């Protein structure tokens, strides 16, 4: 079986790009902000509908931030940051997300709880040092229904703890960059919450609910994105189809994105369909037909252990 991906094996024709701007991505960014604003203005007359639409817009905006990290819709990182900078989801500074996500793309370190910032595993030592009640909660979090319900809270706590720790352990240069990222994030938060309170006339708690629901939607995608496997190519999933694909900007085809991270969201389905059997061979059949299939298999059953099976302790 072939495991590597090279020019002779995966042959993808990149979509034509006129100039340096991807118009489809730019249009989606504008549309996302328009839906977000319209949903907020709807709060006074239909609060539940408003919160639901805000959650969808927040989830889509997070997916667009992911595109920006990978140099879409322009080839200029500064312009891309400006286009998706506002923290509609409240929690993560864009520059911190950019740094951490690019670290995550080191495929040979995927799932490592020390080196992969997006790993849901803990080292065995860290896991065993936890109180038994917390180990139970983390075990629940490896079931899809629980991940949707409590995963955003667990993820927020882990992220903020990591950020606080980084403030004290990072070198001077990294610490300055982290402080700048959080300072810019604070400015963005002020802008978002000013709009929420003064323009939408929406209580803070209602927007927090929308932001949490947006993270819950994203948890469906991230739940099965990676697993431990000895070969790095076997660690990344393919979910072949879903009505959530647009919301996730086709990152359900996650292996294709990891192998071709410069490919824009709208080119991923064609890249997958053109060599479907090859892609499925690359990740050793780590494939689900849909997120419904993921829910059927792992809605109430733990997909992974919390403790990483093979990581070396540090």
In a domain, 314, yes or no: no
- When pLDDT is averaged across residues 104-126 and rounded to a whole number, the result is 93
Q: Are 235 and 229 in contact (CB under 8 A)?
A: yes
Where does the pLDDT of residue 301 fall: very low under 50, low under 70, confident under 90, or very high at 90 and above?
A: very high
DSSP string, 94-118: HHHHHHHHHHHT-GGGTT-TTT-TT
In a domain, 14, yes or no: no
Q: Are 286 and 234 in contact (CB under 8 A)?
A: yes
What is the total count of domains within the chain? 1
Count CB-CB contacts under 10 A for residue 198.
9
* Containing structural domain, residue 120: 23-298
Angle between helices 77-84 and 23-41 (to 10 degrees): 20
End-to-end distance of the chain based on CA atoms, in angstroms? 34
In a domain, 11, yes or no: no
The model carries a pTM of: 0.92
pLDDT digits (tens, 9 = 90+) for 198-210: 999 999 999 999 9
pLDDT at 265: 97
Closest Cα partner for 11 from 232, 283, 279? 279
In a domain, 228, yes or no: yes
Residue where the block lists tokens 């939607």: 217
Residue where the block lists tokens 């006339």: 201
In a domain, 10, yes or no: no
In a domain, 18, yes or no: no
In a domain, 313, yes or no: no
Where does the pLDDT of residue 170 fall: very low under 50, low under 70, confident under 90, or very high at 90 and above?
A: low
Distance CA 273, CA 280 (A): 11
pLDDT at 162: 87
- When pLDDT is averaged across residues 251-263 and rounded to a whole number, the result is 96
Closest Cα partner for 73 from 14, 17, 12, 35? 17
In a domain, 270, yes or no: yes
Q: What percent of the chain has pLDDT over 90?
A: 86
- When pLDDT is averaged across residues 239-256 and rounded to a whole number, the result is 96
């Amino acid at each position: 079986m072939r495991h590597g991906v090279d020019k002779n094996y995966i042959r993808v024709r990149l979509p034509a790009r006129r100039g340096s701007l991807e118009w489809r991505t730019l249009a989606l960014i504008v549309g996302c902000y328009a839906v977000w604003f319209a949903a907020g203005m709807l709060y006074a007359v239909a609060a539940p509908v408003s919160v639901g639409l805000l959650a969808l817009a927040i989830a889509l905006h997070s997916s667009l931030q992911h595109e920006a990290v990978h140099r879409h819709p322009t080839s200029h990182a500064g312009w891309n940051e400006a286009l998706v900078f506002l923290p509609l989801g409240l929690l993560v500074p864009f520059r911190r997300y950019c740094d951490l996500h690019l670290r995550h793309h080191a495929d040979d370190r995927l799932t490592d709880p020390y080196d992969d910032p997006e790993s849901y595993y803990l080292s065995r030592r860290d896991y065993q040092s936890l109180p038994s009640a917390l180990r139970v909660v983390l075990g629940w979090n490896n079931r899809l229904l629980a991940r949707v319900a409590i995963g955003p809270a667990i993820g927020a706590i882990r992220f903020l703890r990591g950020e606080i720790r980084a403030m004290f352990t990072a070198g001077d240069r990294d610490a300055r960059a982290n402080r700048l990222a959080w300072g810019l994030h604070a400015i963005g938060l002020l802008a978002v919450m000013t709009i929420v309170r003064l323009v939408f006339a929406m209580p803070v708690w209602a927007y927090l609910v929308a932001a949490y629901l947006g993270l819950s939607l994203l948890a469906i995608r991230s739940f099965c994105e990676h697993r431990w496997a000895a070969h790095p190519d076997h660690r990344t999933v393919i979910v072949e189809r879903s009505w959530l694909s647009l919301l996730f900007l086709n990152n359900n085809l996650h292996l294709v994105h990891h192998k071709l991270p410069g490919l824009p969201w709208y080119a991923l389905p064609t890249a997958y369909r053109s060599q479907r059997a090859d892609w499925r061979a690359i990740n050793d059949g780590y494939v689900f037909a849909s997120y419904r299939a993921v829910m059927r298999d792992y809605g109430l059953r733990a997909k992974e252990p919390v403790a990483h099976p093979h990581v070396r302790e540090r």
